[in-house]
A and B are shown apart, each in its own frame.
Chain A
Amino acid sequence: MVKRERLGVILSESRLPELIASLTETYRIFGPSKKDDGESFAAIHKSEELALDYGNTKMSPKGFFFPQTESLMWYDSADKKAKQDKPEVQPTLLFGLRPCDALAISYLDKVFLSNEPQDPYYRQRREATKIVCLACNSPSPTCFCTTVGCGPDSEKGADIMMYKLNDRYLMKALTPGGEEIFTNIDVETEPATSQDIVEKDDLVNKACQMVKRFVDIDEFKEKLNNFQGPWWEKLAQKCLGCGICTYFCPTCHCFDVTDEVVKQSGRRVRTWDSCMYPLFTLHASGHNPRPGIKERMRQRIMHKFNYAVEYYGETFCVGCGRCIIHCPVNIDIRQIIMDIAEER
């Protein structure tokens, strides 16, 4: 058991293997994996498999709670009864998650859990999972977390916060879930000192300086109150409507529900869907309230920066930069924000 300390505890990097070994006794662990150069979260059995110096993963971790495809129920045509599919859940740790992704999960919690009725599939996975977050010492060039209310040391959504200080980790339990993790592990730590905190603050400050703040986000949000703003036409010109931005986004959560039948049995599945597709809103009558890329691009941006603020009290963009990296025609959401903010 790791004792609770006011300033957190210090774990020597050399003890990371022990920490992971101890954690695996209670939890399934997923973390950024060396197998894939830290590009994805994979099952971790030994600390050597972890790639903790990664920038951020290619896919966001939202799929752990809200898989790209999941079966909601199944049936066979003989008895015509729907049977509920239950996700198999085990105590799970997401280890080394970036603060932006943890924040994004706290937003998904609002969609699937705070907004009644709760989503039982999401809930089962979410309740079984705890999050150990790793603060960023060297943000990527595409990160803009500090512009959108997140940051390299943002704690929301994390059960435990970890900071890498040279050859040590500073660890703090932030929630009862985090405390529970501490009680479940057996590894030698020392209480953190105020010197350690100074060192941490210094690293965080450096990281914050590396993340460029490029725009006054409030001015941008103010402009969005004008739904008919003249900028959408131009911004949408390059967009292919491929929807890749939404698949990579850690906060995008739109889904489709479809039935799949193979011979006598079938299942009802939900799959990620995207507001960037024309079919998303097409009525059976042929009428489409969002007929063009312009309207759909507007929906994507408005949903994140205007509607979600009204509905959930949060801006549904955490500045992770994934949509910037993966857009095939280099549409940069920072540029969109700037263009709109600066339009007179």
Chain B
Amino acid sequence: MKNPYMPIPVRIDNINIENDARDIKTFRLVFLNKEDADAFNFMPGQFAELSILGVGECPIGIASSPTEKGYLLFTVKRTGVVTTKLHHAEIGDIIGVRGPLGNTYPFEKMRNSNVLIVSGGFAFTTLRATVKYILDSANRFNYRDLTVIYGARTPGELLYKSELWAWEKRNDLAMQVTVDKGDKSWSRYEGFVPAVLKKIAPAAKQTIALVCGPPIMIKFTLPVLKELGFSDDSIFLSLEMRMKCGIGKCGRCNIGHKYVCKDGPVFSSAELQKLPQEY
């Protein structure tokens, strides 16, 4: 019987420092065993527990798309015990991954629809995976217009910069990047994500909106989406709660009768309205 608590061994294959503050790093992980790699079937939106023996585990969204073969990406901000230890890790170190955990973005619902992605800060990770997935030539025709609005405090805090600039040049998605405050060389949007969303005003008809960001961004984004005509069952959010088991047993991550680790982390705005506002 498979033991869901046992971490799968992986090797850190690459580490990329994402931001000027140097507190966000992207780790590229490669499975030590081929069977483990083959068994790890996931879709964007899911997460995994990163495990360091002797230190602990922490839940991190999977930042790579299943279309990127041979490795997994996790973008981790240094916050507490485990994430700090991870930040001290080096290429070649062996750590563990436990997953994939949780549900995915609503790819069935997104099929033949426009997709609008609204994201801020370092929460862009699983949405980066989503963009990557949709842009893959094997999938692109399943979805209509793809619009991505992504913001950070400053240009130096944007994740995946070279990828963003490459996406800007493509014509199969509309990539809109904004920062709260630009520097001298900044020529794109300036302002908060909800304001940019309002300005761009993507059509709500036949569009699914995926939203992930800090609570304050979400708070001001939802009313704008409503104004634009998005219904609650066409808006999807990815939530965070403190977690341990990641499999709906330890009782830690519930919002009402839903476990964020198992029934989430992705919920529609309609679902969330039926749950207590306790997150």
Contacts and interface: CB of A to CB of B under 8 A. Distances in A.
A264 B9 CA distance: 19
A257 interface: yes
B4 A117 contact: yes
A273 B242 CA distance: 14
Contacts of B5: 72-73, 120-121, 257, 268
B70 to A, nearest CB: 22
Contacts of B278: 227, 289-290, 295
A178 to B, nearest CB: 25
B250 A256 contact: yes
Interface string A305-330: 01110110000000000000000000
A290 to B, nearest CB: 7
A118 B1 CA distance: 9
B6 A254 contact: no
A257 B2 contact: no
Nearest to A111: B249
Contacts of A82: 6-7, 51, 53, 96
A284 B83 contact: yes
Interface string B34-62: 00000000000000000101111110000
A120 B5 CA distance: 9
- Of the four ranges (under 10, 10 to 19, 20 to 34, 35 or more), the interface on chain A belongs to 35 or more
Given A253-B251, A254-B252, A281-B242, A306 B3 contact: no
Where chain A touches its partner, the secondary structure class is mixed
B248 interface: yes
A80 B245 contact: no
B254 A307 contact: yes
20 contacts: A75-B53, A77-B53, A77-B54, A80-B53, A82-B6, A111-B249, A112-B249, A120-B2, A254-B252, A255-B249, A255-B251, A259-B54, A281-B241, A284-B83, A289-B255, A289-B279, A295-B278, A307-B257, A310-B256, A311-B257
Interface of A: 72-73, 75, 77, 80-82, 84, 111-112, 115, 117-121, 123, 227, 253-259, 261, 266, 268, 270, 273, 275, 280-285, 287, 289-290, 295, 299, 302-303, 306-308, 310-311
Interface of B: 1-7, 9, 51, 53-58, 79-80, 83, 94, 96, 215, 240-242, 244-245, 247-252, 254-257, 276, 278-279
